[in-house]
Structure 1
Amino acid sequence: MLDMERSFLESLFPPQRRVRVESYLQDILSDVQWTEVVEVHQELATILSRSIPADDVSREAAFWVSLFPHSSSQTIPHDLCPSPVREIVMGAQRILRLEAGSMEYQLESFIRLILNISDDPRTILVVLAEQLRLMRIFSRLSSEKQHHVLLWVHTVFTPIAHRLGLYTVKTELEERWLKYSDYETYRSIADKLEAKKDEREAFIRRFIAPIRRIMKKNNISCEIKGRSKSIYSIWKKMQKQNVDVDGIYDKFAIRIIITDQPREKEKEMCWKVYSLVTEKYRPFPKRLRDWISYPKSSGYESLHITVVTEEDHWVEVQIRTDRMDYIAENGHAAHWRYKEGGARTGDSDQIYLAQMRSALEHPDALEHAAHGLKDAFYSRDLYVFTPADELVRLRARATVLDFAFAIHSDLGFRCTGARVNGVYVSIREELKTGDVVEVLTSKKQHPTQEWLEFVQSPSALSRIKRYLREQEHRHAEEGREIIRRKFKALAVPLTDATLRKLCDAYNCEDTVELYDRVGEKKIDLLSLKKSFFAHDKDSGAGVAAPKESRFHGRQDNSLVIDNALDQVQFTLSKCCNPVRGDEVFGFITVNKGVTIHRMDCPNAAGLFKNAPHRIVSARWKEEDTARFLKELVLYCSGENEWVISQVTKRIKLTPQVRLIKIHMNDSLTPGVSTVELSLEVPHADTFTQIVEEFRRMAGIGSVYLP
């Protein structure tokens, strides 16, 4: 290791630790790697000394971050890195790893995440320093890295610098962002400002001269500066006002910094200067900003006024003391540098750290953030990581089980627990922001009703409930089939009375519960016959087993189902309303016998696909005289009375069709009315015939068949 490198380590570490750090670095770094680390850290250290005032802990943390940046999983030996430094390093590395992840998903929650990822706000100072370093070496980055850096800097880190009151850093990030994201616009504004630089500086000198004389006359010690506004701030005004550069009038600002004033006199002196300035130049009251009486959350204090010159030029004037100016330039982090008659103590450091965190959590500093970020600060979400460092957003009080379902339903269904930060926990364990969660599973695991008591996510609740319903339905179907086969073997007719006896024997509220319990193997099949006949014996009723099982069907006996010679209990499906003449099939239900559907029923394809074993053939008996109820709606545009007259006449002239109900309503469409009909028909062909006649009738626009 070279003397320069040893000198570098001596500036960071106390002697007792420096020797161990030096030995550790010699083991893990080549000479080339060491040179790169020194270069990166020197850039970070410069930023943390000049642009972002920081303490020794932050600068040492920046060294370890430069050594193990971004996606590295290298663990720093505990004896080389004190606890406060380690916490900052781990937090910064995690934030920087996020930067390389899924940008679109993380943007809306990123700011709130980094506030919770480390309890030490100095973590954010180190990350800000790294972002500023990357912007300063932007041309050396890969195109993909450039895209990521521009996105994060503009959307996240610039608002954070603003919130902390690091206005110098904020301005540099904004300027570089505009330069690298829209160079032509940046260059155009810069060239126009440069072209009128001499004219602008001459105006500033003319504006300041009388103010200097007034301050001197009133014995006010102050420094007066004039400066052009940043290219980015001018560009923002152009966007907001929809004008070009020449349309922006306040391209510069004047700063009056009052010096040598005791703290208790600061406010009084600022307002005195305000009074003197506005005696010379006409003020614009609507643009007065009093940040002295009501400082910003970042600690910013200043009096902003806009005045109008005799040439009708608008000029912004900022009035503050030298103390206010220093804090304004450096924000909360400036408390590590700025002394007011005493050395810094450990207690004061803690106060300043608390103030930094308070500023970050305060809402009014997000005025420049992207849309949606403000709401993210107040959401009750939390943010955890997969072992691969992927970010997962969950609602407050989310459990391990919520996390598993957020990754994938199958993972949730089989979840038995998790390793959270390396520690085994149950599926009930509540998570907190920053946890690293590894889900544990078992093929034997399945959801239970108990899960609904502690899961928080609506989507997880929905999936669990759906799973339980499907399981219950599946068990009921299996149980029904088991009972049917069992009683067929017993040669006992399975009537409603029989099922009621079984429900009573096993304390079931209804047949669905009975089927479900049988399907779940909660009722011993071997006990069915014993329980059934025991119940008959206790009730004094004898049961005669017939030679064959029969279903009691409809009185009209209009269908032959599954080629059975005897009547079978069935109902006509309401989803397609089959009538004689339609091609039909039967579907065996849990407790309603067989349901008859048309072959072209909207549900037919799903039934054939999902439960082909429950499909039975069905056909209409040739000699049957059953009649069927059919409903339709006529949309009419003619005279209502005439249309109804023609409709009823046509029904009377059609053999075997009987009008059951007729009802007329006004439609939502002007000039159109609806006529609802219920008809009794003997056959599908007859119904089709009369529908076609209605469609051909004058005054009827269309016919709707429910």
Structure 2
Amino acid sequence: MDNNNPTYNADGLTYSKFKRLMKGLYINLTDTELGKLRPVVKKAIAEDVYRKDEEIGSITDLTVSTCIILMEELGLKSASIIALVLYRPFIRKSITIEEIQKLFGKDIADIVDGLAKVNALEKNESAIASDNYIKLLISLAEDMRVILIKIASRLHRFRCAEKYTEQYRMQLAIEVSYLYSPLAHKLGLYNIKTEFEDLYLKYTDPEAYNYIVSKLSESKVARDKYIASFIAPIDARLKETGLKYDIKGRVKSISSINNKLKKQKIDFESIYDLFAIRIILNSHKDKEKAECWQVYSIATDMYTPNPKRLKDWLSIPKSNGYESLHITVMGPESRWVEVQIRTKRMDEIAERGLAAHWKYKGVKSQSKMDDWLTNLREMLENKSMDSEEKLDNFKLDLYDDEIYVFTPKGDLHKLPNGATVLDFAFAIHSRIGSTCVSGKVNGKNVPIRYKLQNGDQVEILTSPNQSPKRDWLGFVVTSKAKNRIRQSLKEEANKQVEIAKEMLKRRVKNRKIEINESIMMRLIKKLGFKTITDFYIKIAEESLDINSVIDQYIELEKKETEQHDKHEAVSAGSYVPQNLDIIKETLGKEELILDKNLTGVDYKLAKCCNPIYGDEIFGFVSSQGIKIHRKNCPNAHDMFFRFGYRIIPARWSGKSGSTYTVTLRVIGNDDIGIINNLTSIISKEAGVSMRAISIDSNDGLFHGNVSVILNNTDMLNGLIKKLRTIKGVKEVSRLN
């Protein structure tokens, strides 16, 4: 359904897939809808709309596979499916929006139009720039179903990523990590979010991914046996109650296991909470909570619970509709096991997120999500905010953990964890937030920066003399509060700036001076101001003397006039790129190719991962130019997630003409001669020289760091392979 151009060499459409589509259409569409859709599709086929494109592969497969995901994994009904089927004929001009609206109604026409707007923005893959992302997010925020269709489309593409080029896989990884995975999280699509994260790891760090997969495969029999032994006593007790239920055992996702390995710096065998058990009840709506708590009582009778790990989303569901009861208990062999207790209805909402609310008529949750979309649109369309601020606030809104607080009248409000009294005031109304001076929490007076806890009752105290202060930005956490404070500060700053400009203009006129704007800008920078606004505000506050500024301007103008020729010459080789657009224009291509002939672009190898020739790499635009990182750099995920628009695909070109320093971590038995063997192998390796070695010994083991100089990854891999053959060496790995 997308307009992108990856290399897709295989037609993935199969007969079984087509049968699944037809079955889904007959289940989800009415006879009337099918009757209207048939002639449109027949016409499109006759006009070769669904042809197999040489670059994009089977367009039919893209549409069919995405439709199946919408129906089977998201549970979406007719409107979204019809819109997706009509999207291709619409962009190929086989049918117009007016005709779609006449045949299928405004709702479906709006979804098709929304998809066209979003895909038009994505069509240009030359850069993932901030402004493009802002436009993309605004387009997505028009209709929730457009977001769901795009998530389904990206999921299909990411599942098929092995068939694409390396460059397109990189672009997919950036998009998914930066945009679609967080959106799936916000919408409660936890299964899809997890699959996105697992596939991201698979394509950006295949070594870590394959290691965990192999470890999970090795331990499968023992793991299944443990889960069965854990479930058996609970199952026996539940059968006695007469409840209808299913019990499922599962292992944590590959990406979450990888995060634990990195965060806790432990080996695979040391992860103690690999397991999770899900008990799904087939309960009547009015008995759901009571039966869930009944199961909770049985589980905690059988196994000792960890009270700090109780999560009750039954009493107060998440804003995306998620309902469940989570407990962590001590299972056999002193292993912690998470137990999730929910009903069949809750499980479908947990699996399909917001999409399931159309089935269960979750009007409350739907309206809350509509409020989120409205706030998102307002924030993205706020002209007083720059792109960086908008993207940061967008991220903030996506991944918040929630707390629940009450007004004095008992109205419930959800806020992110860490929210303050001031955040609560802005959540009620912007005017209340702007004039907030303090609060009362559970009857006690507290300052505006007081952090709220679950269950707090909060009363806001205001004063007409109060107005937003810059230091408020240091402790509020909600994007709404940050937006309103920034907006108020900028409005006030703009008033001050206009006053200061008028003051400066009058003084300059009195002294009969013509101001050169470029020289004035240099003076402002020389005076230490980061922005022109800051400069004028200081003048308005009378903390900067206007006459002194004019005197310094005259002096600088005179000096620059005298040294004009010297300052005119600027070396082309010293050019430092300031933003992505300039870099793209300089490169003239979508990909940065590193070789010794590259000129006009300043790049450096990142210190955090020390890439060498042969590593899979990407470029990251920083204030110091482009930094080259390895794809499995420990900071890569954070860069992709927070600053995806600064990423540039990159690769090495030609032969390696440079040498690189790499540090290896060697662990082995502390035997006599082992260090001699290490240094002997390194000295005999062609093209490799040793730069430094440091060894520590503890409890019969030595831990050594060996720095070597070499040309490329082939040399490095060959050296590591040989070092691993030394008797007594247990592990050889490359340090970041």
The TM-score with structure 2 as length reference comes to: 0.47
Asked which structure has the greater RCO (Cα within 8 Å, sep 6+), the reply is 2
Structure showing greater radius of gyration is 1
